[in-house]
Structure 1
Amino acid sequence: MTLWLWVLAASAAVYATKLVGHLVPGAWLRHPLVGRISGLMTVALLAALVTMNTVDGDDGLAFDARLGALAAAAVALLLRAPFIVVVLVGAAAAAGLRLLGLS
């Protein structure tokens, strides 16, 4: 299969999934359990993406400056720092660790 056929197949699958989502009865979506599960799944998906982007390397797991930056940003979040401060703390920690040779 060529690349364009894969792109078209993926587009059709996404469109079909969206179409099926519109066919779900509204009463199912208003159930409190659905709201709790969807909220938890969003947080879990974001945590998984952050973890994979932090420790993913070419040959497996990579423990480098990204992990230290994530830890520094987590500490800033625990101290209830504003979002821009959290980003700057993470960036500064990554730059500092890379300067120390932990890239």
Structure 2
Amino acid sequence: MTVLVTVLVTGTIYSSLHIYPFIGKYYEGDFMLNEWGVALMNVGRAKEIAESMEMINVTYEGTPVIIQHVDDNTKMARIYAKSDPENEREVPILNLIEE
């Protein structure tokens, strides 16, 4: 089954994309949508954010975070909450959401 949608991802509109359902998530090119149509983070974008001089709003489980490092092989990111910079942890990149 293929679904056609229009998605806004970081300021770029992708329209008429073919989205393929897979285990509750939807894949298209280099990004995925969750069941609510929210674009999930990918390795490339996570690396861009980690290396950026700009403060880009990213959340993990609803908490604003800073991405410290991205591991291409494991697809994990080392992050810390903006409110608790001493508490770093490794999380799956797909669980990060760019606001």
Measured against the shorter chain, the TM-score band is under 0.3
TM-score by length of 1: 0.23
TM-score by length of 2: 0.24
Higher percent of residues as helix: 1
Larger radius of gyration: 1
